[in-house]
Structure 1
Amino acid sequence: GESYTWDNIYLWCTPRWNLSLFPTIKLTTRLPTDPRIIPPSDWSYRLYLDYVPAGIVYNGPYEWDLMDMLYSNRKYVEFPAFVSTTGLDGYRFHITVTAIPEPTTLLPLAGAAITAGVIWRRRQR
Structure 2
Amino acid sequence: MTTTPKHDERVANLTFASVYPHYLTKVEKKGRTKAELHLVIEWLTSFNDNKLQELIDDKVTFKTFFEKAKLNPNAKLIKGVICGYRIKDIETQLTREVRYLDKLVDELSKGRKMEKILRTT
**Which structure has the larger Rg over C-alpha atoms?**
1
Higher helix share: 2
Which structure has more relative contact order (CA 8 Å, sep 6+)? It is: 1
TM-score, normalized by the shorter chain, greater than 0.5: no
Higher strand share: 1
